[in-house]
Amino acid sequence: MNAPDNQIRLTCVENPSIVVFPLALSEDDVFNSHPALGVLTYRVPSLYSLLGLSQDKISMFNSLTFILNIVVNDEAGTELVCSDSRLCTINFIRVFTPVIHYISPPVTYFESVT
């Protein structure tokens, strides 16, 4: 199983008609994955870009829950699911999700003083 060949599917629990598929892998995702050890690393984009909605539209939702599945690029289209569903659940809760409107300087580093 090669990480770049896999595709990510996110299905919304509250509204099953919201399915995001496929998500692209970045070079960082591939580098940080260790398929031989059973570890696949993916970075999920922001909710705004994920759903293609503006901030006003997303403000309608107090919470959204997504279930993550991985579809292997093979002849059978094998779908990998977690043995424990909590490990593949992504929760977006608006009151716990900070919204950053502006950051200065635009590039920050760990332990940097601005």
In a domain, 82, yes or no: yes
Alpha carbon distance 77, 52 (integer Å): 26
Confidence band of 29 (pLDDT split at 50, 70, 90): confident
In a domain, 110, yes or no: no
Q: What is the pTM of this model?
A: 0.64
In a domain, 105, yes or no: no
In a domain, 109, yes or no: no
Query: Strands, DSSP E only, in the chain?
Result: 7-12, 19-23, 63-71, 79-80, 89-93
Alpha carbon distance 76, 68 (integer Å): 19
What per-residue confidence (pLDDT) applies to 106?
Answer: 65
In a domain, 106, yes or no: no
In a domain, 77, yes or no: yes
Closest CA to 69 of 33, 25, 19: 19
Domain of residue 20 covers 3-96
Confidence band of 70 (pLDDT split at 50, 70, 90): confident
Count of the separate structural domains present in the chain: 1
In a domain, 111, yes or no: no
- Looking at the predicted structure, is the pLDDT value of residue 3 above 60? no
